[in-house]
């Protein structure tokens, strides 16, 4: 790390694919666990629906919260490559532990027929010792997967030089292609792995996930010479803390009207902005104070102040993305329980679709929309917006929020229909397809938009931590789901969410999420309309201009014109 990049031997799509392979394997493992875990907790460990749903959402919430820690470690000390290698190894160990916990007979309670003589309600729940091993496995997976999620996309984008027109054009499509690839892992998990778990055995299902993760780790390490690396530049939290403390310390000093008077203006790598101007006080050099306290003279520079501004400007959008993942979490919990109580037979055949495999429609929607993105949606949107990426990242996020709200309306209507028919023949589980499809479509827009927004709008040195910040929206969304279930249970006396869904009113819970989604979208519109996208650093802009001029000297083919447009579009005008 630190040496000049040899573009002929490193980076590009091959390196990015090798890196993305670890995230694909992580998806195989994590989705193979989370999508079908609730049926294992209810059926094999004899836990309640609410408790099982909360175990899954808390696991996913912790996993994504740990991504913030993984991003911090990479930016501050280890770098993205070492953090990914270590995290992939930990995730493999966690998946192996989970497979072991299902293989050992003593780690499960006896079947209901053998508990208390088979009396009604005599299903013995899992003991504390049995749950301890399960939790150890789940949260070991969470530690490893969190470190992977925070760094894979960042290291992937490092394989493209956005200042180079050819590579910059490729980088435009990296996020959608990356998400298409990892969604294939989710599709494999919800079809093949769920079937293996339900029909062959949980041990085999989780064991396959562990093997896939181990193979992906080996492939990732084998491709080390092909990667481009960025040297860690120290703790980003230290920079943020220094700027906030200096701004508070200098709060009584007048802010210069001319930004050139701020510390480090001539060497600034980031252009000065007028937003959040109170933070500019962190870069004021008080000559009298500096003579008495030398540490003041070595305070934050204008570059560091602007980097902290970038992070602060992410927070309003961050807050509106949380509910999006609360909606998504329903697809792994209550919707799977709904499917288990519906008719899942295919036609007149005897094949019964596993309840967890109903999520396949979610991932088919993701694959459909990410496939259409590059060939249809981006070119079409480019004609209206003039942006090389078609829709701006926040436009993608907004589309995802709208679709997720509509999905909850569909979910409420279908649950009402299912509940009304509970006294007779169960309705087809394929009534759940619209809500799965809508949530999948919302994720295709929302996930890619959020990932792109948090990576591109963050300072370069904080890219991994910013990815971790994005993933904390998933964490908060899953935790919020657990909190809402608990709050609704307390407020309604358990009338909405019951162990027997037929006696509850899950449809009202979905209506509540839909109403919250409307208010959340209005808040998002308010914040998004005021957000200013990051401008290129002066050095990067100068490089883009120079490159554009060079390309216009010999415009031999149409491709040259495309290169010029890409180079010029790199500059924020």
Q: What is the pLDDT of residues 8-58, one digit of tens each?
A: 677 778 888 888 888 888 888 888 888 778 888 887 888 877 788 788 888
List, for residues 227-274, the tens digit of each pLDDT value. 887 777 667 778 888 888 888 888 888 877 777 778 777 777 778 888
Q: Are 287 and 353 found together in one domain?
A: no
Number of structural domains found in the chain: 3
Q: Are residues 367 and 289 in the same domain?
A: no
Domain-located, residue 153: yes
Q: Where does the pLDDT of residue 411 fall: very low under 50, low under 70, confident under 90, or very high at 90 and above?
A: very high
Check pLDDT > 90 for residue 90. yes
Q: Is the pLDDT of residue 513 over 60?
A: yes
> Which tens digit of pLDDT belongs to each residue from 155-210?
887 888 766 667 666 766 777 778 788 888 888 888 888 888 888 888 888 899 99
pLDDT exceeds cutoff 70 at 573: no
**How far is residue 115's CA from residue 113's CA, in Å, rounded to a whole number?**
6
List, in sequence order, every residue forming a beta bridge with 118; answer none if it has no partner.
Answer: none
Domain membership flag for residue 370: yes
Question: What distance in Å separates the CA atoms of residue 379 and residue 395, rounded to the nearest whole number?
Answer: 15
Shared domain check, 502 and 440: yes
Same domain, 321 and 448: yes
User: What is the CA 508 to chain-centroid distance, rounded?
Assistant: 28
391 and 455 belong to one structural domain? yes
User: Per-residue pLDDT for 543 more than 70?
Assistant: no
| Degrees, nearest 5: CA angle 339-342-345 | 100
CB 442 within 8 A of CB 400: yes
Domain that holds residue 86: 12-232+307-530
Query: Quick one: pLDDT band at residue 300, thresholds 50, 70, 90?
Result: confident
Are residue 224 and residue 242 in the same domain, yes or no? Answer: no
Question: Quick check: 173 and 371 in contact, CB under 8 A?
Answer: no
Backbone angles phi, psi at 202, to 5 degrees: -60, -35
Q: Which of 124-138, 155-169, 196-210, 520-534 has the lowest mean pLDDT?
A: 155-169
- DSSP letters along 38-98, please? HHHHHHTS---HHHHHHHHHHHHHHHHHHHHHHHHHIIIIIHHHHHHHHHHHHHHHHHHHH
The reply to whether 7 falls in a domain is no
Check: CB of residue 49 under 8 Å from CB of residue 106.
Answer: no
pLDDT category at 123 given cuts 50, 70, 90 is confident
Residue 251's φ and ψ, nearest 5 degrees, are -60, -25
- Tracing tokens 């989780």 back to the chain, one arrives at 206
What percentage of the chain reaches a pLDDT higher than 70? 83
70 and 158 assigned to the same domain: yes
Whether 95 maps to a domain, the answer reads: yes
pLDDT at 116: 46
Residues 247 and 362 in one domain: no
* pLDDT recorded at residue 389: 63
What was the pLDDT predicted at 548? 39
Determine the 3-state secondary structure of 352 from DSSP.
strand
Question: Which has more pLDDT, 549 or 409?
Answer: 409
Over 70: is that where the pLDDT of 305 sits?
yes
Residue 337's pLDDT band, with cuts at 50, 70 and 90, is confident
In a domain, 18, yes or no: yes
Query: Of 247, 269, 300, which closes a domain?
Result: 300
The pLDDT of residue 413: 94
Residues 511, 405 within the same domain: yes
């Amino acid at each position: 790390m630190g040496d000049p990049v040899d573009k002929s031997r490193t980076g590009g799509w091959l390196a990015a694919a090798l890196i993305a392979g670890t995230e694909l394997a992580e998806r195989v493992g994590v989705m193979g666990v989370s999508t079908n875990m609730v049926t294992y907790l209810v059926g094999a460990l004899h836990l309640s629906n609410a408790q099982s749903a909360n175990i899954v959402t808390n696991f996913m919430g912790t996993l994504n919260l740990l991504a913030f820690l993984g991003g911090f470690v990479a930016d501050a000390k280890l770098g993205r490559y070492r953090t990914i290698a270590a995290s992939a190894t930990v995730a493999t160990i966690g998946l192996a532990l989970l497979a072991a916990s299902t293989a050992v007979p003593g780690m499960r309670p006896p079947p209901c027929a053998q508990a208390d003589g088979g009396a009604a309600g005599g299903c013995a729940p899992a003991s504390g010792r049995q749950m301890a091993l399960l939790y150890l496995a789940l949260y070991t997976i969470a530690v490893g997967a969190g470190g992977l999620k925070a760094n894979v996309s960042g290291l992937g984008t490092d394989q493209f030089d956005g200042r180079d027109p050819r590579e910059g054009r490729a980088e435009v499509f990296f996020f959608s292609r990356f998400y298409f690839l990892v969604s294939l892992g989710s599709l494999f998990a919800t079809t093949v792995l769920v079937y293996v778990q339900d029909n062959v055995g949980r041990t085999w299902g989780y064991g396959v996930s562990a093997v896939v993760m181990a193979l992906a780790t080996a492939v990732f390490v084998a491709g080390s010479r092909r990667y481009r690396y960025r040297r860690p530049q120290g703790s980003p939290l230290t920079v943020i803390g220094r700027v906030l403390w200096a701004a508070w310390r200098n709060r009584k000093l007048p802010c210069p009207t001319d930004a050139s008077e701020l510390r480090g203006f001539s060497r600034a790598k980031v252009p000065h902005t007028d937003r959040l101007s109170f933070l500019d006080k962190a870069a004021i050099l008080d000559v009298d104070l500096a003579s008495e306290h030398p540490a003041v003279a070595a305070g934050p520079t204008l570059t560091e102040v602007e980097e902290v501004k970038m992070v602060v400007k992410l927070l309003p959008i961050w807050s509106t993305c949380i509910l999006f993942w609360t909606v998504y979490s329903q697809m792994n919990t209550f919707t799977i329980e709904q499917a288990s109580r519906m008719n899942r037979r295919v036609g007149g055949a005897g094949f019964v679709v596993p309840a967890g495999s109903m999520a396949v429609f979610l991932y088919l929607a993701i694959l459909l929309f990410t496939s259409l993105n590059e060939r249809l949606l981006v070119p079409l949107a480019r004609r209206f917006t003039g942006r090389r990426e078609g829709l701006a990242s926040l436009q993608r996020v907004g589309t995802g929020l709208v679709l997720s709200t509509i999905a909850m309306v569909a979910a409420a209507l279908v649950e009402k229909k299912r509940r009304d028919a509970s006294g007779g023949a169960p309705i087809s589980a394929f009534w759940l397809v619209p809500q799965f499809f809508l949530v999948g479509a919302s994720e295709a827009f929302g996930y890619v938009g959020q990932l792109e927004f948090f990576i591109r709008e963050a300072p370069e040195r904080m890219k991994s931590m910013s990815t971790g910040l994005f993933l904390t929206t998933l964490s908060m969304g899953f935790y919020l789901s657990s909190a809402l279930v608990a709050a609704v249970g307390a407020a309604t006396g358990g009338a909405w969410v019951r162990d027997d869904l037929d006696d509850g009113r899950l449809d009202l819970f979905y209506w509540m999420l839909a109403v919250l989604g409307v208010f959340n979208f209005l808040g998002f519109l308010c914040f998004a309309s005021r957000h200013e996208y990051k401008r290129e650093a002066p050095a990067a802009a100068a490089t883009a201009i120079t490159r554009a001029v060079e390309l216009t000297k010999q415009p031999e083919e149409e491709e040259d014109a495309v290169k010029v447009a890409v180079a010029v579009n790199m500059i924020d005008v």
